[in-house]
């Protein structure tokens, strides 16, 4: 066994990515403060072929050196837009037919392993601030909260790690 070279992976170009069919989900970032986390979201969105990222509140937008450092150029392939607040983004997405789920530990949350995406409906997943989590206003407007089971002493994952877990689980459920 050996590692594959980048050439052997036969990845699409940025132009091919932009033209490609995306999985039916949008990522909403609610006041993410770490530029490295933002870059990680772009990289995950590229890897899982997300429709776009919506950057809300004080979440920084590309171009920025620190975002590029962890995005590795994915900020050039993934569509993104700014929105004043996650609550406003939730309202807009719901009006367009998206099912909106916040990734948060909340009363009545659904454990990730019990979450079943509804048919062909498009989804949006809201990820919150590294300290405060998803804003209450975004939660109130959403269809519900997803919670990732945890078994250690800490009460949360890094927000970009949470994204990798939740979004891979969603894509896996859509392709099987």
According to CATH, the topology of domain 14-175 is Alpha/beta knot (3.40.1280)
Selection from 173, 8, 29, 11 nearest residue 90 by Cα: 29
Distance between CA atoms of residues 51 and 47, nearest Å: 11
Distances (CA, A) of 128 to 57, 103, 160, 175: 11, 8, 10, 27
Taking only the tens place, the pLDDT of each residue in 86-112 is 999 999 999 999 999 999 999 999 999
Residue 48 pLDDT greater than 90, yes or no: yes
Q: What is the edge-to-edge ordering of all strands in the sheet holding 99-103?
A: 80-83, 52-56, 25-30, 123-128, 99-103, 144-147, 110-111
Distance between CA atoms of residues 77 and 18, nearest Å: 6
- Interstrand relation of 144-147 and 80-83 (parallel, antiparallel or unpaired): unpaired
Selection from 40, 126, 23 nearest residue 75 by Cα: 40
Mean pLDDT of the chain: 97
**What's the average model confidence in pLDDT over 74-90?**
98
Instruction: Read off the pTM.
Output: 0.96
Residue spans per domain, the chain: 14-175
Residue 67 pLDDT greater than 90, yes or no: yes
Percent of the chain with pLDDT over 90: 95
**What's the average model confidence in pLDDT over 2-6?**
93
Give the H/E segment covering residue 71. helix 65-71
Taking only the tens place, the pLDDT of each residue in 163-173 is 999 999 999 99
* pLDDT (0 to 100) of residue 120: 87
């Amino acid at each position: 066994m050996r590692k594959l070279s980048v050439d052997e992976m036969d990845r699409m170009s940025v132009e091919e990515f932009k033209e490609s069919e995306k999985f039916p989900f949008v990522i909403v970032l609610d006041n993410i403060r770490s530029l490295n986390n933002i870059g990680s979201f772009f990289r995950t969105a590229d890897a899982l072929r997300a429709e776009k990222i919506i950057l809300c509140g004080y979440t920084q937008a590309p171009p920025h050196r620190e975002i590029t450092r962890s995005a590795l150029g994915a900020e050039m392939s993934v569509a993104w837009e700014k929105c004043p607040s996650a609550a406003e983004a939730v309202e807009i997405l719901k009006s367009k037919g998206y099912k909106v789920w916040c990734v948060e530990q909340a009363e009545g949350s659904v454990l990730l392993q019990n979450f079943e995406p509804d048919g062909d409906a498009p989804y949006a997943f809201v990820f919150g601030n590294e300290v405060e989590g998803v804003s209450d206003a975004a939660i109130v407007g959403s269809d519900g909260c997803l919670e990732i089971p945890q078994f250690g002493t800490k009460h949360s994952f890094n927000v970009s790690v949470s994204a990798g877990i939740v979004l891979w689980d969603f894509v896996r459920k859509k392709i099987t």
